[in-house]
Amino acid sequence: MNELTKRVVAFREARNWKQFHNPKDLAISLNLEASELLELFQWKSSEDAISDKYNDLSDELADVFYYTLLMAHDVGIDLEKALLDKLEKNEMNYPVQKAFGSNKKYTEL
Ligand SMILES: [Mg+2]
């Protein structure tokens, strides 16, 4: 993760783009990239979108990851720790014996 973060930060620094990357605009950009990902599925079955737009899907996922790494870096979040902490919370909210095979939100389990 650190190597990837160093790489995306170096990419940005080389272009002098940090000046545009305040947390609000990074959050907006992350969301826009997630929307571009979503757009690939519009009016198609999941299977068709994945088979027809596989390279685009890869690009949009990478774009979301790019902004996620930059935002975590800029606001000082250890993304690896954040994910592990969140998984722990989800394990508490969704105990296997209650959540197995269920699509209910934890508040409804
Ligand atoms: Mg994109």
Radius of gyration (C-alpha) of the chain in whole angstroms = 17
* Cβ–Cβ under 8 Å, residues 37 and 61: yes
Alpha carbon of 33 to ligand 1 centroid (Å): 5
Mean pLDDT of 70-75: 97
Mean pLDDT of the chain: 96
Given a cut of 80, whether residue 1 has pLDDT beyond it is no
With a pLDDT cut of 90, the percent of the chain lying above it is: 97
Alpha carbon of 94 to ligand 1 centroid (Å): 32
Give the closest residue to 67 by CA, choosing from 108, 33, 104, 103. Answer: 33
Mean pLDDT of 67-83: 97
Mean pLDDT of 87-105: 95
Which residues, chain by chain, have CB under 5 Å from ion ligand 1? 33, 36, 60, 63
* pTM for the structure as a whole: 0.91
Alpha carbon of 25 to ligand 1 centroid (Å): 15
| pLDDT single digits (tens) 18-30 | 999 999 999 999 9
| pLDDT single digits (tens) 50-69 | 999 999 999 999 999 999 99
